[in-house]
Amino acid sequence: MKKNTRMKIIKRSYSISTIFVLISLQVLISQISANSINECPEKCGSIKIPFPFGIGNQCSLSPFYEVSCSNHTPYLVTTDHQILGITNGELRINSTSYIAKDCINQNSTITHISLPENGPLSVSDSSNVFIAIGCDTVAVITDDKSFTSGCVSLCSTPRSVVNGSCSGIGCCESTVPKGKRYLGLGTSNIFGYKNVSDFYNCSYAFVAEKGSFRFVENELRNFSETAKDMAMRLDWSIGNYNCASTSGSFICGKNSFCVDSTMGTGYLCNCSDGFSGNPYLNGTKGCQDIDECIELENNPCVGGARCHNKVPGYQCICPFGSAGDGRKNGSGCKKLYLVIEALLGTGLGLGVVLLCGLWFYFALKKRTLVKLKEQYFRQNGGLLLKQQVSNREGTTECARIFSSEELKAATQDYDKSRILGSGGYGTVYKGILEDGSVVAIKKSKVMDQSQIDQFINEVVILTQINHRNVVKLLGCCLETEVPTLVYEFICNGTLHHHIHENVDGTQMSWSNRLRIAVETAEALSYLHSAASMPIFHRDVKSSNILLDETYTAKVADFGISRLVPLDQTQIPTLVQGTLGYLDPEYFQTSQLTEKSDVYSFGVVLVELLTGQKPVSFERSQEDSNLAMYFLSSLKTKDLNEFLDKNVVKEGNLEELRRVTELARKCLLLKGDKRPTMKEVAQELVNIAAFCKQSNQLGEDDNEQQQWAMDLFDQASNDSFNAALSITYDLER
């Protein structure tokens, strides 16, 4: 009761305002004269009392650090704790009086560890541990605010207790919360001492410094006898601000530096490297230079070297004719000729090792590259292609197998300036071979390894296609991760560019458009029915129709084309193609047929007729797809409303209607209703012949033709769209 009453008085006397005043006076107090500090006792008994602590109020930084010395035993004035030792940042105190106890037939005792609320002290969480002793014991530690923890200890017989272990059998332990100035400790028996063993009398709970308490079975009987020297550690710091604060006045002395306290508030001072002493003082008791040459137990320099003290640190000076740092823990001292020899030998050795390493690296890299090329060659079916080529040599023109070095040289190592175009399946580069011939080199992005045999067959077959309107495949390179294809070079761009992206303002004439349509249809018809094995192009679109210097059409890009066995008319496959050109029936069924190319060609015909892109968001949402827009326009509009103005102006009305009708048939939703590519090509040839015949008529014939066309318009113009709509619905 006396101690609790005294603590209450202390708490009241050191109010918050008083603490702030004391802290503001720290700088003034720290400037105690050297004579005053020298006159202060440095020890109480055998315990050193370093500043900022001091014996008497004139020797400490503030009342919180004041120590009283009674019978050669130091006590902290503000808390009456017996001091067992002081280090920088920690205070070791006797904690025998802070043990909670609960015994049979006795009242339990709850203990409180209470420190000044605004003082510089707190119970150390890193150096202490909460311990409970007893059988069927529960112990609790709390700060009466936000923290409550504890542990449970169970045991039945002395044999169950393990000496030296505090893991829950006879003894348990828990952590201590950080930065607490008040802790309440309590303990009790779980079963109310109904199951009391003969070797067990009481339960205990206490805070002790780590490593100071070793539990043994006898503690369960006579713990109070062994608890005489129980110790606990307190954290201490200076002030209530950290080192980063610009408003604080730090008391760190010369040759020292500030460090933040582990308490979370306040700071501490440490001597700089090479200095020792009290970092909170100046003068002889402050941080002084360490003379390593004298104070170290052993001379830090090697034999023969002279030790020279520096502020801070030291230097070892090697004798004449030697070189090195002279330190025992360094390079020591070596004769100069030995040093030179060592340096030359080391440099020469490193040079030889480096040259050998470089030679070995490049040789290994070259060998690895050769092996990788061989692996890719076999992986991509190079052996099969060689066999196919050898079987066909002397009969027809064969695919040429290019090396990766040839194609790198042809494209200047695939320089960006050589790019002709790129898509989802690869990038096309312009290449110039050693003989000066210009080629187009397609570097693929992906390759289905399960279709190597089919790819090789396709390469062999495509090299034998001899059609003036199909881009010639000259060969391939199989020494890369994915095969690289080499085609003949077509110089005048794509049909898509000339229809949609012609920046010079010139428009492609209707006669050229019709001729390109005829040439493209004949090429596709050849692939479907005249090649040694039918080929479905699978990606017919205006950007895959190239134009040479005479605007002759060349069908290109067989990257996703499929070879078709003669006994099959459709192939189940993963749907691939380009949005706007993709056959709806193929998209729904995944069954690829020759009519899929017919549908895509129909979209190209509509592009030639209307001059519009296959997908455009400039049209309404329902008309964004060109094919749907074209079919709906046929039912509701006249031709001159949705066809390209130049086409309507240049083309003959009859041939425009025939081409329009052919495009409509190609775009029928059901594939079996569409014409074959051969029928499409024949119809376009007939239309082109009609166009040519009409252009050759004389002026008299023109008048007769005009009369006939006017008569035809009068008879059929009103009913043409309606009849076309009925036919569309029936065929659909």
Q: Alpha carbon of 400 to those of 129, 403, 405, 473, 487: distances in Å?
A: 82, 10, 14, 9, 11
Q: Is 640 helix (H, G, I), strand (E, B) or coil?
A: helix
Q: Alpha carbon of 502 to those of 493, 494, 506, 617, 625: distances in Å?
A: 11, 11, 7, 20, 22
Q: How many CB atoms lie within 10 A of CB 5?
A: 9
**What's the CA angle centered on 455, arms 464 and 449, to 5 degrees?**
170
Q: Is 641 helix (H, G, I), strand (E, B) or coil?
A: helix
Which region, left, alpha or beta, applies to residue 478 given φ > 0 means left and ψ of -120 to 50 means alpha?
A: alpha
Element (H, E) at 317: strand 314-317
What's the half-sphere exposure (Cβ side, CA atoms, 13 Å) at 698?
Answer: 1
Give the torsion sign (CA, 105, 107, 108, 111). Answer: negative
The annotation status of 3 as a binding-site residue, yes or no, is no
Of 676, 699, 679, the closest CA to residue 687 belongs to 679
- Among residues 136, 235, 289, 539, which one is catalytic? 539
CA 176 to chain centre: 40
Which distant-in-sequence residues (6+ apart) come within 8 Å of 398 by Cβ?
389, 392, 460, 463
**What's the CA angle centered on 631, arms 629 and 635, to 5 degrees?**
110
Of 510, 428, 516, 424, the closest CA to residue 468 belongs to 516
Beta bridge partners of 10: none
Q: Alpha carbon of 583 to those of 328, 337, 542, 687: distances in Å?
A: 85, 87, 15, 25
Query: What is the C-alpha R_g of the chain?
Result: 49
User: Cα(580)–Cα(584) distance, rounded to whole angstroms?
Assistant: 10
User: Cα(540)–Cα(559) distance, rounded to whole angstroms?
Assistant: 11
Using CB atoms within 10 Å of the CB of residue 288, give its burial: 0 to 12 exposed, 13 to 18 middle, 19+ buried.
Answer: middle
State the DSSP string of 320-366. TTEES--BTTTT--EEHHHHHHHHHHHHHHHHHHHHHHHHHHHHHHH
Which distant-in-sequence residues (6+ apart) come within 8 Å of 589 by Cβ?
none
539 catalytic? Reply is yes
Q: Alpha carbon of 330 to those of 212, 301, 302: distances in Å?
A: 39, 9, 9
User: Cα(135)–Cα(197) distance, rounded to whole angstroms?
Assistant: 8
Residues making up the annotated binding site are: 443
Residues recognised as catalytic: 539
Residues making up the annotated binding site for ATP are: 443
